[in-house]
Amino acid sequence: MGVDGGPRTAVVIGAGVVGLSTAWFLQERGVEVTVVDRDGVAAGASWGNAGWLSPGLAIPLNEPGILRYGLRSLLDPRAPLHVPATPDVGLWSFLTRFAVNCTWKSWSRAVQANLSFNEECLEAFDVLTSNGVEAPTIEAPITAAFENVKQATALLHELKRIDQSGLEIDYTALDGDALRAGTPQLSTQVKAGVRLDGQRYVDPGEFTRSLAASVTARGATIRSGFRVTEVREDSGSLRVISGAGDSVRADAVVLATGAWLNTLGAAWGVRVPVRAGRGYSFTVPTDRPVPGPVYLPAVRVACTPYQGKLRVAGTMEFRDADAPLAQARVDAIIASARPLLTGVSWEERTDTWVGPRPVTPDGRPLVGATNAPGRFVAGGHGMWGFTHGPVTGRMLAEQITTGKQPAALRDFTPTR
């Protein structure tokens, strides 16, 4: 431990945007960091996601409408929300807890809890990009498009509720012609929509790799192929042990393994289950440049300009985190998005990907100290791990080095 009682060394388990952000901000506070990952940098959800930095749309998943929607589409393999028929008792237990939390009261608590994260998330990205992370964040409105006004009204009501929670969102309702004037990829089937200003996006893989390069340049070691099996107290410090028998010692350990968080976290007193809500993405060419992100809420599809093309991301599939890619899910995304988009070469898609997003039943992430001394958790952000990754790392680094829980993390206590 340091002279002031804070840790001098730390191991971060997980080299996604959450883990690397935590490592970066620990370094900012003088902690020597080692990052370990079973695969490598950006190997999980940090590579293939939509790359939105969108405080205006970082909406908890457990709003009441998702329950009604989910029950209708539960076993339909083509539906945007899909739960395959499975005897997995743990999954059904999780879904039962999730259903209990699909109330306006629970959703509103999650919105309120996320308020500080949403208010400060873009500033945290700016701290990184002003101090060595070379990948840019790009300002652009996000355009949400619908087939009719009734569908758009549902999103407007949700945005109004978030506005009333204290987060100011700059949004404008538009008709189909106005939407197409700003986003030529929208088809004539789109009749209504909402433009959210003040949002940003990134190339998520590039940003995470740039963040890793900055962490390394500041003195950290990143070890890939290090599958952690145990964290053991050893002579006044913690020993992080891999399946191959390698180990790293440190004063503090941060678990940031996304959908695999419970594997180690359960032994540390983390009782909230985290399940993999798997998302899919792929890249397609377009006949005209894409000016900014496009959101198709009715079919749960997010589209982002990506390396001169369009990245299309969607679906929420509750399946084992390590299960193989299901082509039927990709086909379902294409079938649902095709009528709403034009000038897209669907047959020329590349970079088809699936990745697990860590979902909690109450819409709140797990960030903070556990019951095990010196061991901390950062995860469970659902679909918003990229948006909230850097601000999570900054606040958790403060707690680790000072021993004091920031007010913004109180509702995210991992042992709740």
Domains in the chain, start-ordered, CATH in brackets? 9-46+206-273+364-412 (3.50.50.60), 56-201+274-359 (3.30.9.10)
Mean pLDDT for the stretch of residues 406-410 = 96
From the number of C-beta atoms within 10 Å of its C-beta (0-12, 13-18, 19+), residue 365 rates as: buried
Per this entry, what is the length of the chain? 416
pLDDT of residue 8: 97
Mean pLDDT for the stretch of residues 216-244 = 95
pLDDT(141) > 70: yes
Two tokens, residue 391: 């601000």
Following DSSP, what letter does each residue of 166-191 receive, concatenated?
A: T---EEEEEEHHHHHHH-TTB-TT--
pLDDT(130) > 90: yes
Q: What share of the chain is helix, strand, coil (3-state, %, to 5)?
A: 40, 25, 35
pTM beyond 0.85, yes or no? yes
Q: How far is CA 138 from CA 10, 187, 384, 416, in A?
A: 32, 25, 17, 36
Closest CA to 310 of 130, 185, 396, 139: 185
What are the pLDDT digits (tens) for 312-351?
999 888 888 889 998 988 999 999 999 999 999 999 999 9
Q: Per mean pLDDT, which of 101-105, 110-114, 123-127 is the most reliable? A: 123-127
pLDDT(154) > 90: no
Tell me, letter by letter, the H, E, C secondary structure of 228-287: EEEEEEECCEEEEEECCCCEEEECEEEECCHHHHHHHHHHHCCCCCCEEEEEEEEEECEC
pLDDT of residue 296: 95
Two tokens, residue 110: 């999650």
pLDDT of residue 4: 63
Closest CA to 16 of 202, 253, 217, 222: 222
pLDDT(60) > 90: no
Q: Which of 62-71, 89-98, 165-174 has the lowest mean pLDDT?
A: 62-71
What are the pLDDT digits (tens) for 258-279?
999 999 999 999 999 999 999 9
Angle (CA) 283-284-287 rounded to 5° is 145
Of residues 27 and 90, more confidently modeled = 27
Q: Tokens 């899910």 identify what position? A: 329
Q: Phi and psi at residue 246, in whole multiples of 5°?
A: -70, 160
369 three-state secondary structure? strand
Q: Which of 17-21, 159-163, 370-374 has the lowest mean pLDDT?
A: 159-163
Kindly indicate the confidence band of residue 3, based on its pLDDT and cuts at 50, 70 and 90: very low
Of residues 114 and 68, more confidently modeled = 114
Rounded CA separation 244/230 (Å):
11
Rounded CA separation 203/207 (Å):
6
> Taking the chain, what is the end-to-end CA distance rounded to the nearest angstrom?
27
pLDDT of residue 80: 61
CB atoms within 10 A of CB 75: 9
pLDDT of residue 76: 64
Q: How far is CA 181 from CA 153, 184, 291, 303, in A?
A: 21, 6, 11, 17
